[in-house]
Amino acid sequence: MLTAPNLSFSDADQFLLDSLKTAVVLLGDDLRVRYLNTAAEVLLEASASRLRGTRFANCFADATPRETLLRQALQEQQPYTERMVKLALTDGRELTVDYTVTPVHRHRDMLLLEIQPMDRSMRIDRERALLSANDTSRNLVRGLAHEIKNPLGGILGASQLLARELARSDLLEYTDIIIAETERLRQLVDRLLGPSSPAQFSAVNIHEITERTAALVEAETNGRLNIRREYDPSIPDLYGDRGKLIQAALNLLRNAMQAVETSGQLADGSAAVTLRTRVVNHFTIGRRQHRIVCRLDIIDNGPGIPEDILDRIFYPMVSGHPEGSGLGLPIAQSAIQMHQGLIECDSHPGLTRFSIYLPILGNNGPRNETDHLDR
């Protein structure tokens, strides 16, 4: 029997409450915690013995207005619901939740809180929107690129024929310019269309990818950029296309290098770029929940991505660099999507983190290992 002042639960009650997926917290008339179930302990990342007797309003990121609402609900004996509220966890992180407050009529001096975490649902919705937008923009760009490529071939061929017929060298300079610029446009269109060769899947170690990528960028900067490694050596091999994974990681690492270079941090020695690998269990990408996912973070301490383009950086032709083509991130996202993965970005001044999520699928192929989700 679990007891508290004016409160007692039978073993059956305790079992039922602890079996709920919803976090349940019971507050007394002083708005201090009288009881919380197992789901609430997991959600708040603190034990019942630690939280019992504490003021629950202190668990909110903005405690004062929350305590006022709780006290009002207790006095008026009226339930209420709030959505997208921030809870402050013990490690400093914040968690977005929906919660409902219900006065307990058998105990007029108590409030029952039912708390539902929303971060997972928000992330799934954000990922679905990102994947859908990426698919839509890629199909649009590919259709446009096909329409552009046909006349470019005609212009190039006509210019080459014209150059053969011209005798004056000054006129040949003009045709050379036409040929060179047409060829440059054709290469750009080819990049928009994506890789022409099919993916070659095989067992690949993520640290082979990161070390190859780091070596290339360190060579480009003549050793001026010191890339930190924070690896989890226990990560098993992935099943993927080595070349495409290197290209995706290289695009992201070059972005980080360019960010600290343009801000002057590379020159003054304050640049910090980190490659970090971790394992994530039971991670959802789109509609699929994967049992094990490899997460690769590429982190820099540059000025951050401009806020006005942050939501659009995975669209073609959108770039935060004056000389950027705006194709690196869409190409990287497409390559990772080919592996059923996803790239996410979190950026503010002083920290930009691109996170690549890659399912660890085994050797049976890239599409047989996960369960569909409809929630």
Interior CA angle at 143 toward 255 and 308, to 5°?
A: 40
Residues 6+ apart with CB under 8 A from 337: 131, 134
**pLDDT of res. 135:** 67
Alpha carbons within 13 A on the beta-carbon side of 58 = 10
* Cα dihedral across residues 260, 266, 269, 273: positive or negative: positive
344 vs 348: CA distance, rounded Å:
14
What is the DSSP secondary structure assignment for residue 60, as one 8-state letter? B
> Is residue 135 within 8 Å of residue 338, measured between CB atoms?
no
- pLDDT at residue 4, as a whole number: 46
* Burial classification of residue 56, based on how many CB atoms lie within 10 Å of its CB (0-12 exposed, 13-18 middle, 19 or more buried): buried
Query: Can you state the angle between helices 206-220 and 242-262, rounded to 10 degrees?
Result: 40
Q: Is 211 helix (H, G, I), strand (E, B) or coil?
A: helix
- Measured distance CA(296)–CA(357) in Å, rounded: 7
Cα-Cα-Cα-Cα dihedral sign, residues 330, 353, 276, 212: positive
Q: What is the pLDDT of residue 334?
A: 82
What are 100's strand-pairing partners?
Answer: 81, 114
Where the chain has pLDDT below 70, the residues are 1-19, 90-91, 106-108, 120-147, 167-169, 188, 190-198, 287, 316-327, 361-375
